[in-house]
Structure 1
Amino acid sequence: MKKKLTTTIREYRMQNNMSQQELADLTGVRRETIIRLEKGAYNPSLQLAMDISHVFHTTVEELFTFTAEQEDEEKH
Structure 2
Amino acid sequence: MRNDVKALRLAKDLSQGDLATVLDVSRQTVNAIETGRYSPSLPLAIKLARFFGTSVEEVFHVDEND
TM tier relative to shorter chain? over 0.9
Q: Decide which of 33, 37, 44 is 1:41's aligned counterpart.
A: 37
Aligned to 1:25: 21
Q: Hey, which bits of structure 1, 4+ residues long, moved more than 3 A?
A: none
- Which residue of structure 1 lines up, in the alignment, with residue 9 of structure 2? 13
Gaps of 5+ in 2: none
- Residues in 2 aligned to 1:33 and 1:11: alpha-carbon distance in whole angstroms: 16
**Superposed CA RMSD:** 1.3
TM-score in terms of structure 2 length: 0.93
Report the secondary structure of 2:25's partner residue. Answer: coil
Higher RCO by CA contacts (8 Å cutoff, separation 6 or greater): 1
Distance 2:47 2:32 in 1: 16
TM-score in terms of structure 1 length: 0.81
Question: Which protein has the bigger strand share?
Answer: 1
